[in-house]
Chain A
Amino acid sequence: MALAPLIAYAHVRKSFANGHDAERVTAVDDVSLDIAAGEFLAIVGASGSGKSTLLRLANRLLAPDSGRVMVEGEDVRDVDPVRLRRCMGYVFQSGGLFPHMRVADNIAVTPRLLGWPAAEIAARVDELLELVRLDRSLHRDRLPHELSGGQQQRVGVARALAARPRIMLMDEPFGALDPLTRDTLGDEYRALHRRLALTTVMVTHDMTAALLLADRIAVMRAGRVVAQGQPAELSNNNEPYVAELLRTPRRQAERLNALLAGASAG
C-alpha cells in the first residue's frame, strides 16, 4: 500500500514584484513535488532558482499564487499558519538564533509558544542539548554570539526539534560552516533524521552534500524542478544542467581517489 505523501506540491506558482517594474519575477513556476513520510529530500539549485521560496511555501511563510500545497493531507491555506509553523521544525541559514536570548531560551521558544509547563520545557532543553551534543553546563546559559558557528547551528537544530515536529525544513543549514564541521554536522543530522523518524526537506546549493545526505534529490532551475530522483537515478538523467551539477562532485571524487591512491602507492 502506497503511503500518501506527507508534503505535496501540486502545480504551485509563486511570483514576486520586482522593485519598481510592473513586471513580476516568477520564483516558482508550476512545481509539483511529493515528499513521502520519513524521506530526506534535498532541493538543489543555484541561488535564485526558487528553492528557498519552495521551502517557505511549505510552512506558509509564503502563500502560493496558484496551485496547492498539502501537508499531512491538509491544504495549508485551511490551517492557521502559526499553528502550522509550530508543528514543523525550521532550521535557518547561519542559525537565525535570537541574539538577546540565552541558548536555553532560544531552544525553548516554540515549546513556550505552545504553552508547555516550565519543568517539561527545562527537561526538554537538557534532552535536546544532549541530542545535538552540546555540553549542558557549558552552553545552556550562553548567548549565541559566544558560540562558534558550528555550535550555533547545533542550537538551531535543537530549537527546530524542540516541539517534537514530524517535519523538518532546513534552509542551507550547513552552508556557512567550515568543511569539517559541515561534514560532522551533516552526518549527525542524518543519524537524527533516521532515529527520530523525521521527514526532512533541505535546501542547498551544494550537490555533494545533497548526494551524501539525502534519500532523494530535486534539482531546480529558474523556478522549475528539472529533475528528481535518487542519486543513481540522477546520474542517468539526460538533462544537461543535472550533468553539469554532477560534474563537480564526480571530478572531485576522481581526483581525490587518484591522489589518495597515489599516496598509498608511493
Chain B
Amino acid sequence: MSFLSDPRWRDAAAHLPDYLGSHVQVSLAALALGLVISLPLAILARNHAVSRGILLGLASVVQTVPGLALLALFYPLLLAIASLTLRWFGFDFSAFGFLPAMLALALYSMLPVLRNTITGLNGVDPALLEAAQGVGMTPRQSLFTVELPLALPVIMAGIRTSAVWVIGTATLSTPIGQTSLGNYIFAGLQTQNWVLVLFGCVASALLALAVDQFLTLIERGLRERKRLHTMLGSVGIAVLVTATLIPSMARAPSTYVVGAKTFAEQYVLSALIEQRLQAAGLQASTREGLGSSVIFLALAANNIDVYVDYSGTLWLNQFHRTDMPPRERLLAELKEILAKQDVTLLGALGFENAYALVMPRQRADALGIHSITDLAAHAPTLSIAGDYEFFSRPEWTALQKAYGLSFRRQRQMQPDFMYAAVASGDVDVIAGYTSEGRIKEYDLETLADPKHAIPPYDAVLLLAPRRAHDAALQEALKPLLERIDIATMREANLRASGSNANSSPAAVARWLWQRIGRQ
C-alpha cells in the first residue's frame, strides 16, 4: 500500500473541518483579545520609561512560561474564579476548553504587539510630532491621525509574529479541552499513529504560513502605501477565516461528550463509549487528550458527560487519601465520596490498569528479581524511567517509603517509548501500566508488590452530575460493565499501538466490542 493511499489520511481529513474551525476560532479570539489589551497598554506606556519597562518585562516573563504550562495554569485558575462567582453572584461559567485556551493564548500573544507598538510609536520622526502639534492637533488627534498611521507597518509586523505564535501554540490547547489541530498531534503521539501527527503538524504549519503570507501582504501594503496589497491581504484573511469557521459553526453540537485522557487505552475506550452511545441512538462525540488533572474537574463541572478513570488515581490524586483499603472496599468508599460531589460511579469495566515496576523477564531472572523487595537491593546500580507524572505521584512516594528504593538515575519518558526502551536495555526498570499490550509482546515481567504500596486501579465509568438520572445513557453503557478483562484490554492496547489502518482507536474499539459482545 502506498503512503498516500493509507486510509488513515481519509480518517484524518474527515476531522479537518471541526479541528481547523475550532483552531481558527480560538486563535482569532485570542489574537483579538490580545490586541484589545496590548494596544491601549502600549499607547499609554509609550512615553513612560518605568511603566514601559514593567509592561515589557511582564510580557517577557509570560513568554518564558512554556505554552503547555501556561494553558494548564488557566484551567484551575478559572475554575476557582467560577466557584467564587457562583458563591457571590449566583452564576458560574465553563472553565473548560475555549475560555482558558483563549485567555492563555491572548496573554501569550501580547509581547510582540506591545513591543512593536511601542517601538513603532517611538520611531515616529519628532519633527512630525511637532508639525502635528504646530498645525493645532490635540495629543489625541496627533495619536490617531499621525502617530498610529505612521507606526502601523511596525505594529502589523508585531501582529503577524503574534498570529504565527498563537496558531502554533493553539495546538497545545487540546489537553485543557479546546479542540484544535493539536488533537491530531496528541492522538497521534499517544497511539503511535504518525500519519495523524504529520497531518496535524502540516495542517497547523500551513495555516500559520497562509496567515503569515496574508499579513505580510497587508504589512507591505501599509509600508509602501499600496492599497492593492493591503486589500488583497485583508480579503485573503477574511476568506480564510470564513472558510474555516462556517463548517464548524454549521455542525450540530453533540449531546453527549465522552472524555479521554492522553494515552492509547483512553482513546480506545472513549471511542468504544461513543460507538455504544451512537448505537443506542444518542448523539455523541469525543473530547480527547485531556490532562489527567483536568478531566475529573471537567466532568464534575458538566463540561464532559462520561469518561473512564481508575480507582487508585482518584483515591490518591483527587482525594489525597493515604490509607490503602482492599480493592472492593476502596471501590465502595470511592463511590460514596464521588456521590457527595454528584458524580456517579456507574461501575467497573473489569480490568485494572495499575502502575507496576516492569523489567525484561530474562534480565529479572538473571538478577533473581521477582518482586520490588528483590529490586530494592539492586536499585542503586539501576536506572528507572516513568511517564511525565509518575515521579511526582503519591505512588512513587509510597513505593520509595515501603521498599527503600533508590535508583542510580531516573528519567521521564513519553509512555509509548518506555517499553521499547526497557526491552532494549536503554533503561533497566520502568514504571509501566499493567494493561499495556507490549508487556506481553516484549516478554516483560511485572514485579510483585508484596507490601501493597500501589493501590488497586480498577477502570471505572464516571458520569457527570447532569447525567446522574439519565436512564438512556446508563442503559447504553451497562453492557460494558465487568466485561473487559485484563487480557482483552492488553490485546486491544497492543492493537492500538500498531501503526497500520486497523490500529485507529475507532477500529480497535469495534474489535473490542465484537470480542466482549460475543461473550
Contact = CB atoms under 8 A, between A and B. Distances in A.
Interface string B127-156: 110111111111001000110011000000
Interface in A156-205: 159
Contacts of B135: 85-86, 90, 109-110, 113, 159
Interface string A75-91: 00000001101100010
Interface residues of A, number: 21
Contacts of B132: 98
A88 B498 CA distance: 82
Nearest to A98: B146
Contacts of A98: 128, 131-132, 145-146, 150
A100 B137 contact: no
Contact of A86 (B131, B136, B150): B136
Given A61-B134, A85-B133, A90-B134, A96 B141 contact: no
Nearest to B137: A113
Contact of B134 (A94, A96, A114): A96
B136 A113 contact: yes
Contacts of A36: none
Given A100-B150, A143-B225, A82 B136 contact: yes
A110 B131 CA distance: 11
A160 B149 CA distance: 22
A115 B488 CA distance: 82
Nearest to B129: A96
Contacts of A61: 130, 133-134
B138 A82 contact: yes
A61 B133 CA distance: 7
Interface residues of B, number: 17
What's the dominant secondary structure at chain B's contact region? helix
A92 B136 contact: no
Interface string B106-133: 0000000000000000000001101111
Contacts of A59: 134
Contact of A93 (B127, B137, B145): B127
A191 to B, nearest CB: 24
A67 interface: no
B138 A100 contact: no
Interface string B270-281: 000000000000
Interface string A20-56: 0000000000000000000000000000000000000
A99 interface: yes
B46 to A, nearest CB: 19
Nearest to B134: A90
Contacts of B138: 82
Contacts of B137: 82, 109, 113
A92 B141 contact: no
Nearest to A86: B136
B225 A113 contact: no
Task: Please indicate which of the listed interface residues B130, B136, B149, B150 has the most CB atoms of chain A within 10 Å of its own CB.
Answer: B136
A160 to B, nearest CB: 8
A263 to B, nearest CB: 42
Contacts of A113: 135-137, 141
Interface in B130-189: 130-138, 141, 145-146, 149-150
B143 to A, nearest CB: 13
A83 B137 CA distance: 9
Contact of A99 (B134, B136, B145, B150): B150
Given A86-B136, A110-B136, A113-B141, A100 B130 contact: no
A151 B511 CA distance: 82
B131 A100 contact: no
Nearest to B130: A61
Contact of A96 (B130, B145, B149): B130
Nearest to A83: B136
A98 B127 CA distance: 10
B131 A85 contact: no
A167 to B, nearest CB: 13
Interface in A95-132: 96-100, 109-110, 113-114
A96 B150 contact: no
Contacts of B134: 59, 61, 85, 90, 92, 96
* Closest 5 pairs (CB-CB, A-B): A86-B136, A96-B131, A90-B134, A85-B136, A100-B149
19 contacts: A85-B133, A85-B135, A86-B136, A90-B131, A90-B134, A92-B134, A96-B128, A96-B131, A96-B134, A98-B128, A98-B131, A99-B128, A99-B150, A100-B150, A110-B135, A113-B135, A113-B141, A114-B136, A159-B135
Given A59-B134, A82-B137, A98-B131, 15 more contacts: A61-B133, A83-B136, A85-B134, A85-B136, A90-B135, A92-B131, A94-B127, A96-B127, A96-B134, A98-B128, A98-B132, A98-B150, A113-B136, A113-B137, A159-B135
